[in-house]
Amino acid sequence: MIVWQKIIFFIFFSVLLSACNESVLNNPYPKGIEGKQSVLYSSFSERPKHLDPAKAYSSNEYAFIGQIYEPPFQYHFLKRPYELEPLTAKHMPEVHYFDALGQPVAETSTSDEVAYSDYIIEIRSGIKFQPHPALAINKQGQYLYHQLGTEELADIQLLADFKQTGTRELTAADYVQQIKRLVHPEISSPIAELMKQYIVGLGDYAQIIKDKPRTALRDNPIKGVEVLDKYRYKIRIKGKYPQFIFWLAMPFFAPMPWEADAFYSQKGLIDKNITLDWQPLGTGPYMLEENNPNLRMIMLKNPNFHIEFYPSEGEPEDKESGLLEDAGKRLPFIDKAIYLLEKETIPYWNKFLQGYYDGSGIASDSFDQAVQFTGDGEAALTESMQAQGIQLQTAVNSSTFYMGFNMLDSIIGGSSEQARKLRQAIAIAVDYEEYISIFNNGRGVSAQGVIPPGIFGYSAGERGVNHYVYDWHNGQIQRKPLAAAIKLMQEAGYANGIDPITGESLVLYLDTAASGPDDRARLNWYRKQFAKLGIQLVIRATDYNRFQQKMRNGNAQIFMWGWNADYPDPENFFFLLYGPNAKAVHGGENAGNYQNPEFDRLFKQMSYMSNGPERLAVIRQMQELIRYDAPWVFGLHPKSFSLYHSWYHNLKPNLMANNSLKYRRIEAQKRKQLRRQWNQPVLWPVVLIILLLIALILPAMRSFQRRAKETIK
């Protein structure tokens, strides 16, 4: 046998052997990755920038750190409306209020009477950190890896290269350490400046430690945050800020052992990209086993995770939908969670259909393949999805997208009757129901105000209708006819959209950072909406930086913006219209620079109130004010559609919780069987192609040989 024949035989034999070894050929996971473990397969499209809980603030970052770090409180997995409950805390915090003289005042005191609020948090004993080299100590109690030398560093490329790990009990000091970290200049926490406004002494502390290393945080006390004993700490807040409790359920306030800063501050580790921003250290149900966000991230069950059980209470329908089947069982259920990088939606979607991902969102490309709308407008799965046993879950997000008017603008802004009627007319003309249908595949609900469904203060039905834009007809909401908008235009002095000053069509400007080819149709649609009123809408598309600059300077006229809730409280939405938050004036989040003294007064009042009928009444007054003033065209609240395979359980959308992974459960055996059934390789086309090639080449070869043997006669 000559050499090339041997090579071909070897390759053929190897391929055959590998085909025999694997039940399916297209499995993207290494053989034996699961073993006897329960594994979740998921994906991410963009690498998380930060995994340090003091820095991370994006949903794709929270997907990981939410499972690793544990703030003192969490949102109940099943109960709605969203309810906070203790996580590492023993109970909800004790809150004490004091006046300017330091005398205690009642909880019902107004914000003017309260100078300070003390939050006393007690954590549970016996909670331990995950095994980590930063906590490894020798018999003498000295830390093994806090002063690494060149020789020790030579063998270290990954965190897993450290031979020893250690743990210790969680203490109140770890929570205080993290609060100090928020203002350390090396860390650049996105909420540092915000928290300086609330936490007593945090601003001064930033000055104290600005030239000091992170390792100095432990020895420098902070005035307003105090360790009371091993398990209790106190945070002093300026004035009354009831929403602070929601911040305490976010990873910003998760515990950080001082050892983490000591360990990760070593230059030798930083040079090897072994940093706290990349390798977390927490007490949560999972720990990051592998962090290669260019390929995959793997989380393993934390062997030191404290005792926590699946909730036994929920909403009435939770029992019917099987969400209470695991009630009282110890968490977490999943042993390993593997997240693969998938930048493109097409391969991601196909791998989900093959069973290689347990859940998936729905990109617009595959929407029609997955979802169809029934006669009464309800979303349902297509037959092919149902045949695979796929489940559909929908939830209206706690976010809002709107078209804003710059209230500082001389034409569209201000509180004049003319400008207000012009804005109201535009609000009627811009048909967001049509927008949702065309551009969002029906995934969204048109907004009636600033608050999305699921947040206290949102009213459904007739009570929640924006009567300046919609009518209530036969139990259904209906956008006002265009004639109403045209009438408003006439009253505003722009009959048929003609600007009386120029005698031509009124020209308005939409500033946007959306300038890609995909955005063209969307922008044209906006032009058409304004054209209904005879207004010429000029699109001023620019890059995002310039757009941001225009917004900061108050130079934009009309813009589109959105907001995702930090926490489930109306204050987190109304503050987008609070006067002292005006972007152009104070650099805040009020992008339209809306100012209304009455609204501002009500906002302050509402912010300090507890949820109840009185607060609801104030919220309704505020909604009425902004509907009348129309500083925004209330756009839409997006609706997320998610698909899950039949083997995936305990799925209930919780838009506030970041730590839902511990509740999820996978039926690994069922997945294995279905994957095998769905992925049997089809080999005959390959054989056919080979035969076709042979059939094509053979006659040519023969013809060539014949020609080569020809002689001139």
Partner 1 sequence: MFNYILRRILYAFPLLLGVNILTFVLFFIVNSPDDMARMQLGQKHVTEQAIDNWKLQRGYQLPLFINQQETGLNKIKQTIFYQKSLRLFVFDFGISDSGRHIGADIQQRMWPSLAIALPSLLVGLLVNISVALMMVLFRQSYLEFGAIVLCIIIMSISSLFYIIGGQFIMGKLLMLVPISGYDTGVNAFKFLILPVLISVISGVGAGARWYRTLFLEEIEQDYVRTARAKGLTETQVLFKHVLKNAMIPILTGVVVVLPLLFMGSLITESFFSIPGLGSYTIDAINSQDFAIVRAMVFLGSVLYIIGLLLTDISYTLVDPRVRLS
Residues lying near partner 1 in the complex (CB under 8 A) are found at: 18, 24-28, 30, 47, 49-50, 57-58, 185-186, 188, 190-194, 270-273, 275, 277-278, 292, 294-295, 340-344, 346-348, 350-351, 353-354, 543, 545, 548, 566, 587, 589, 679-683, 685-686, 700, 703-704, 708
DSSP class per residue in 98-136: E-TTS-EE-TT--TTT-SEEEEEEEBPTT-BPPPBGGG-
For residue 594, what is the DSSP state? Answer: -
| Local structure of 291: helix, strand or coil | strand
β pairing state of 470-473 and 476-479? antiparallel
Helices vs. strands in the chain: H and E counts, helices first = 24, 25
**Rounded to an integer, what distance in angstroms lies between the CA atom of residue 201 and that of residue 225?**
8
- Helical residues (DSSP H) of 236-292, grouped into ranges: 244-247, 258-264, 267-270
Nearer to partner 1, 61 or 122 (CB): 61
Q: Considering the complex, state which of residue 78 and residue 182 has its C-beta at the smaller distance from partner 1.
A: 182
CB nearer partner 1, residue 259 or residue 342: 342
230 versus 702: smaller Cβ distance to partner 1 = 702
Minimum Å gap between C-beta 708 and partner 1 is 6
Helix (H) or strand (E) holding 539: strand 536-541
Whether 370 contacts 643, CB under 8 Å: yes
Q: Which is nearer to partner 1, 460 or 701 (CB)?
A: 701
- The nearest distance, CB 131 to partner 1, in angstroms, is 24
What is the chain's percent helix, strand, coil content, to nearest 5?
Answer: 35, 20, 45
Do residues 181 and 202 lie in contact, with contact meaning Cβ atoms separated by under 8 Å? no
14, 26, 168, 683, 700 from 687: Cα distances, Å: 17, 18, 61, 7, 20
Residue 549 Cβ, how far from partner 1 at the closest point, in Å? 8
Nearer to partner 1, 20 or 708 (CB): 708
Nearest approach, Cβ of residue 454 and partner 1 (Å): 20
Query: Minimum CB separation from partner 1 for residue 355, in Å?
Result: 11
Please identify, using beta-carbon distances, which residue of 206 and 492 lies nearer to partner 1. 206
Least spacing, CB of residue 482 vs partner 1, in Å: 35
Nearest of 188, 193, 97, 81 to residue 567 by alpha carbon: 81
Closest approach of partner 1 to the CB of residue 354, in Å:
7
Q: State the Cα–Cα distance between residues 8 and 470, nearest whole angstrom.
A: 73
Q: How far is the CB of 195 from partner 1 (least distance, A)?
A: 9
Give the whole-angstrom CA distance, residue 651 versus residue 387: 20
Per the document, the length of the chain is 713
Residue 330 DSSP class: B
Q: Minimum distance from CB of 250 to partner 1 (Å)? A: 12
Of residues 292 and 524, the one with the C-beta less far from partner 1: 292
Q: 373 or 704, CB closer to partner 1?
A: 704
